[in-house]
Amino acid sequence: MIKLSAVIITFNEEHNIERCLNSLKGIADEIIVVDSFSTDRTAGICKDAGVRFIEQKWLGYSAQKNLGNSLASYDYVLSIDADEALSEELKNSILAVKTSGFKGACSFNRMTNYCGKWIRHSGWYPDTKVRIFNKNTSVWQGALHETLTLDNTVIEHLSGDLLHYSYYTRDDHIRQIIKFTDIAALDYFKSGKKNSPVKLYGSPAAKFIRDYFINLGFLDGKAGFTICRLSAKATYLKYSKLKKLWRLEKS
């Protein structure tokens, strides 16, 4: 059976990390946690679980994950976030491919729990992710919503969902939007991306229409409407903040 290293990056994840670690039992042959000096009980929970715990000043999402990959003892890595967990079906799929041998990278669907409700539409599902890969031929890139760059790798899709416990309250969601739109706007600015009225006003409207109507967000009920509305707001804030950055540059 092929050995598999699990890599997790954390910062103040005491409410999530134990569930994540428990889901990896019997699946990961090694668990590496790269922590950005959490101030809650994250470190204690991880150390009690017997994982390999490394503290590293925040380098950025991609750099932090790449550091974890470089520390892995085995070639194949399962990258999982602290607020995620493997479903039973996905565990069985991973065990099967560990036994038969990896053909390349592995992808699977991610299903998100929003304020206690599992979301099956709204542009949030199936949300397919490539999360098992050979660390020697793969690298994380990007400042936000990092993407995995693969070197001519075959991707095998596994059955079962990666369970994502995203936001416990609407306020959690709003705080994350503020944080992520700051990062996204700065990343756009550094890359020279310009703003326009179409992007500022048209993109949020298009985002809502696509997620709520085309992607059937209305079937997720009140939670679906909230998600689609806040996703549209996030799009507006991203371009609004980009506009302010260019104004500051000119002044």
pLDDT for 42 equals 98
pTM for the whole thing?
A: 0.93
pLDDT for 229 equals 98
pLDDT for 251 equals 84
d(CA 90, CA 79): 14
d(CA 41, CA 26): 24
Neighbours of 64 (CB within 10 A): 21
Q: Phi first, then psi: give them for residue 166, nearest 5 degrees.
A: -80, -65
Q: Could you write out the DSSP letters of every residue in the chain?
A: ----EEEEEESS-TTTHHHHHHHTTTT-SEEEEEES--SSSHHHHHHHTT-EEEE-----HHHHHHHHHHH-SSSEEEE--TTEEE-HHHHHHHHHHHHH---SEEEEEEEEEETTEEE-STT-SS--EEEEEEGGGEEEE-SSS-EEEESS--EEEEEEEEEEEEESSHHHHHHHHHHHHHHHHHHHHHTTPPP-HIIIIIHHHHHHHIIIIIT-GGGGHHHHHHHHHHHHHHHHHHHHHHHHHHHHHH-
Render pLDDT for 85-117 as a digit per residue (tens, 0 to 9): 999 999 999 999 999 999 999 999 999 999 999
pLDDT for 204 equals 98
Question: Which residues of the chain, if any, have pLDDT below 70?
Answer: none
pLDDT for 143 equals 76
pLDDT for 9 equals 98
Q: Which fold has domain 5-166?
A: Spore Coat Polysaccharide Biosynthesis Protein SpsA; Chain A (3.90.550)
Any idea where the domains of the chain sit in the sequence?
A: 5-166, 170-250
pLDDT for 126 equals 97
d(CA 121, CA 216): 6
pLDDT for 180 equals 95
pLDDT for 144 equals 73
d(CA 27, CA 157): 17
